[in-house]
Structure 1
Amino acid sequence: MFRKRIVTALAATTLVAAGVFTAVQAAEPSAPAIKPTASVVPAFDHIVLVMFENKKYSSINGSSSAPYFNSLAAQGAKFTNSFAITHPSQPNYVALFSGSPQGVTDDACPINLGAKANLGSQLAGAGKTFKGYSEAMPSDGYTGCSSGTYRRKHNSWVDFSNIPASANLRNSAFPSDFTQLPTVAFVTPDMCNDMHDCAVGTGDKWLKSHLDAYAQWAKTHNSLLIVTFDEDSGTSVNQIFTAFVGANVKVGSYSESINHYTVLRTIEAAYGLPGINNAASKSPITDVWQ
């Protein structure tokens, strides 16, 4: 019996060496490949973040008025426990960009925050680039509080003196050649298309029209789209819809609790940057990456 086992083992070894089968194939011929979760955030070539307005999670998730939001989230990572920081709008925009509301508690304008640390200044210090694109802003570099359907309160980067005017652009400057995008771009629709003054369906159509091409491109070009909201509809819960779509994203729903600081920390981690202000105490999101 012992001699027979030796002969059998030698025969199997010979077959493996000849490439007839592998040990894994012999033991588990139909076992699917398992992709491990990345322990770090990928170093994306480009990240585009678009912020919508004043809708609670349940107004978007599964809503027949938001078919594109939901189809887009189904192509990436949907966060079922994502939250804004506060109310009203402006401090949330400032918090996402700088890790703190910086003492801002309302929508007063103008807010001037000097050269305090922010995502744009961090990126510049690391040799990366940032640009913000605002729909309906009357001119590049504009610092006024309002014009038509544009509101400065939804444009946080203009509040910081260490962000150059050349980074404060109209949305019409968003390149059709996505390789020309900065490392990180923030996009702000106007007061109608961001759903502040208009229906969910309006914002849904705008998102598809303006960013679906980038979302599809991002999947094969080491890039990422982040879709989120500044705050919910004014409740104390402040739960919002947030989704990541792009390269290296594992499709699925994720239930960990995240907020604007978590999103900022994740963007920072993609480029090896430290967390600033309240983002410093957050761990970047790592379970959604392949």
Structure 2
Amino acid sequence: MIRKRIFAAFAATLVTAGVVTTAVVTGSEETAAIQPAAATVPAFDHIVLVMFENKKYSSINGSSSAPYFNTLASQSAKFTNSFAITHPSQPNYVALFSGGTQGVTDDSCPANLGSKPNLGRQLIDAGKTFTGYSEAMPSDGYTGCSSGTYRRKHNSWVDFSNVPAASNLRFSKFPTDFTQLPSVAFVTPDMCSDMHDCSIGTGDTWLKNKLDAYAQWAKTHNSLLIVTFDEDSGTSVNQIFTTFTGAHVKVGSYSESINHYTVLRTIEASHGLPGIGNAASKSPILDIWQ
């Protein structure tokens, strides 16, 4: 009992000091496995973020309808307290790309946001590269509001005049040679593949078929895949399913509260960029790296 109390006090002290501790029980003995959080986010060669639509955390986590999402999570850092910013969809896409909703409160199109700061412009100004890939977009550089199963409201980079048209590509241009990917890529599935108009199973199969090869490659090529959702199914909680898969990731479940601004801040930190907007007040995610 004394040993346990001493251990508990020791663990509490380390947590206060910013060190992650894990109790490992072996028979009647307790020992502390001390895992300091990383000092910085790894400087990834490539980060790919894919955003799905309108599903609450519990609809994906452990669901038989989402076998690949859960298989991928078992190879990843899975966040059990990840949240969107608001409802409906469009302001969440804008928030993740620019650190704020920029006054966007609905899905009306077009949202012309001028030259406000955003991740794409940050990367380009720093000598890095950014590309957004949208499934079902009819042509590269397209600025229209909709075409078939494509919707501009899910393509935040086209809203900013300081992001070049060359950064706005069809998903068919996503390279099969992953070394040709930009520093950061955002991927928007179409209205069916993203689960908005079609089933969870449809989106699950799409993710496996389109991005599993990259997820596996990323693990050994200093790269990262972020899978997340724009918002939940419309509840006030707005909890979403989010995973980070790739190099340097300590596989496991993580319970700290994060949101779209935290994810943006982590991407920025990987490239040595300052936080913009509401991301500036967020700390990058540090405890998932090894």
> TM-score w.r.t. structure 1 length?
0.88
Matched, 1:239 2:271: no
- Name the counterpart of 2:98: 98
Q: Offset of 1:76 from its aligned partner?
A: 1.0
Separation (CA, whole Å) in 2 of partners of 1:282 and 1:163: 24
Distance 1:257 1:35 in 2: 20
Please tell me whether Structure 1 or Structure 2 has the larger radius of gyration of its CA atoms. 1
Q: Which moved more, 1:260-269 or 1:34-43?
A: 34-43
**Map of 1:79-118 to 2, 5 A cutoff?**
79-118=79-118
Q: Does the alignment pair 1:255 with 2:233?
A: no
Q: Does 1:288 align with 2:288?
A: yes
Alignment of 1:61-210 (within 5 A): 61-210=61-210
Q: In 2, Cα distance between the equivalents of 1:36 and 1:185? A: 30
* Correspondences of 1:28-67 after superposition (within 5 Å): 36-67=36-67
Over the residues paired in the alignment, what is the CA RMSD in angstroms? 1.3
Distance 2:98 2:208 in 1: 28
Percent of aligned pairs sharing the same letter: 85
Matched residues in 2 for 1:43 and 1:175: separation?
21
Residue 226 of structure 1 corresponds to 226
Deviation, structure 1 residue 37: 3.3
Instruction: Tell me the alpha carbon deviations over residues 206-253 of structure 1, each in whole angstroms, 9 at most, x when there is no partner.
Output: 000000000000000000000000000000000000000000000000
Q: What is the DSSP-based 3-state SS (H/G/I as helix, E as strand, rest coil) of the residue aligned with 1:97?
A: helix
User: Which amino acid is the alignment partner of residue 160 of structure 1?
Assistant: F
Aligned residues: 260
Aligned-residue offset at 1:136: 0.2
The answer for unaligned runs of 5 or more in structure 1 is 1-30
Q: Quick one: which amino acid aligns to residue 247 of structure 1?
A: A
In structure 1, the residue matched to 2:6 is none
- Residue 275 of structure 2 aligns to which amino acid in structure 1? G
> How much does 1:39 deviate?
1.4
Moved over 2 A (4+): 31-37
Give the match's secondary structure for 1:133: strand
The structural deviation recorded for 1:34 is 7.0
Would you say 1:211 and 2:211 are equivalent positions?
yes
State the alpha-carbon separation in 2 of the partners of residues 131 and 42 from structure 1: 20
Matching residue of 1:269: 269
Instruction: Point out the structure with the larger strand share.
Output: 2
Query: Deviation at 1:38?
Result: 1.5
CA distance in 1, matches of 2:181, 2:43: 15
